[in-house]
Amino acid sequence: MKTIGYLIQKEFKQIFRNKGMLPIIFILPIIQLLILSNAATYEVKDINFGYIDSDHTTSSRALIERFSSSSYFNLLPPFPSFAEANSAMLEGNVNVILEIPNNFERELINNKKTGLGLTVDAIDGAAAGVESAYVNQIVQGFNQSISLRAANRNNVNGLSGLITIIPSYWYNITLDYKTFMVPGILVLLVTMITLFLSGMNIVREKEVGTLEQINVTPIKKSQFIIGKLFPFWLIGLGLLTIGLVLAKIIFDIPILGSLGILYFYTAIYLLVILGIGLFISNFTETQQQAMFIAWFFIVIFILMSGLFTPIESMPKWAQVITTFNPIRYFVEVVRMVMLKGAGFTDILPQLWKTLAYAILVNGLAVFSYKKVN
């Protein structure tokens, strides 16, 4: 026990003596949490709306009027021709182009169908879908007003058959992205710091040659590993605490569930990450190799965690891969506990998987760690 105590003391001294690393461990993540949480939004607004009105009639102006009064669209001055609108789209200054043909009003009055042309910059497919849905909603509203007039003319008694939709958004009434993103980004930062630090640590001693010196001392394998990992485990929990405090104070993120559950889960989760870090350092010779591998896994873990893009939309085989992703479970648990107030029984499935993961990874890591080359 005493040996472990000294080892831990040594690790802490090494961490706190390296003045270059301290701000990277503690300040960089916090700044990123504060700044980047604002960036992660899919909300589509201020759509640059270009149009070509070849009709110049009351009807076409009434239609355009509907767009200019909508808060989603940023109406640009009319383009004289499609070619010019298109070139503005190529430059990236226009998101959607609406073409009103020159016999628009005449065909409307003659009771025929009439068409509008809509061109959407669809490179971002999801945004394009939302943009065209907004345009459609406005055109439908326009249609409805015509139908209403037609109904009056034809003496049909009003319109029947109108279904209205009342959306109600649970857990996040205002659809605030920060509520969604801050817990997730906090999870990422805690994971990245602990994985990188633990992954590089032992390899560094290997590379510098001090590992041999430790190996010839009577320090046992288990003592050495605990001494190496415990400081990073504490740093991880410390970062989580700072992050939660800031999330509460600055972003006013609700914490509905119990903090005890959150910390209990994090304590186990960090073992998984530290185990992966240890495993990586066992199988690499240089810090460079260790970093590349850690980087490879972290990018996959981040992008397949369901944090930025929904897991349900991934193909089946990719969803299977995500079940091996520890970040996925942490993101789920943090969101469930903080935003939905989930209790212990609600997070049990994630907890069991994480626990099994922790035992497996650490078992492998300890097993593969050799004092003798």
Q: Which of residues 57-116 bind other proteins (CB under 8 A)?
A: 63, 89-92, 107-109, 111-116
Closer Cβ to other proteins, 173 or 249, answer by number: 173
| DSSP assignments along 183-238, one per residue | HHHHHHHHHHHHHHHHHHHHHHHHHHTHHHHHHTSS--HHHHHHHHHHHHHHHHHH
Which residues have CB under 8 Å from 296's CB, separation 6+?
A: none
β-pair partners for 344: none
Which spans in 283-347 are helix H?
287-303, 316-322, 326-335
Residues in contact with other proteins, shown as a per-residue x/- string from 273 to 302 under the rule CB under 8 A: -----------xxxxxx-xxxxxx-xxx-x
Which CB sits closer to other proteins, 9 or 18? 18
One residue of 202, 229, 336, 358 binding other proteins per CB under 8 A: 336
- In this chain, which stretch among 21-29, 50-58, 260-268, 355-363 interacts with other proteins, using CB under 8 A? 21-29
Does the footprint of other proteins cover residue 140 (CB under 8 A)?
yes
The count of residues in the chain is 373
Site for other proteins, residues 176 to 195, rule: CB under 8 A: 176-177, 179-180, 185, 188-189, 192-193
Among 34, 75, 122, 255, binds other proteins (CB under 8 A): 122
Q: Residue 363: phi, psi to the nearest 5?
A: -60, -50
Distance of CA 302 to the CA centre of its chain: 8
**Least separation, in Å, of the C-beta of 305 and other proteins?**
11
The total of other beta-carbon atoms located within 10 Å of residue 49's CB is 22
- Is 127 near other proteins (CB under 8 A)? yes
d(C-alpha 42, C-alpha 60), whole Å: 31
Q: Which of 230, 308, 344, 369 binds other proteins (CB under 8 A)?
A: 308
Helical axes 177-208 vs 287-303, angle rounded to 10° = 160
212 to 251, contacts with other proteins by CB under 8 A?
none
From 172, 215, 223, 258, residue interacting with other proteins (rule: CB under 8 A): 172
Secondary structure letter of residue 100 according to DSSP = E
We find the least distance from the C-beta atom of residue 346 to other proteins, in angstroms, to be: 5
Q: Is 135 in the site for other proteins (CB under 8 A)?
A: yes
Output the smallest distance, CB 111 to other proteins, in A: 5
What is the nearest approach in angstroms of other proteins to the Cβ of residue 133? 5
Q: Which of 351, 14, 12 is nearest to 210 (CA)?
A: 14
Q: Which stretch binds other proteins (CB under 8 A): 49-57, 157-165, 219-227, 268-276?
A: 157-165
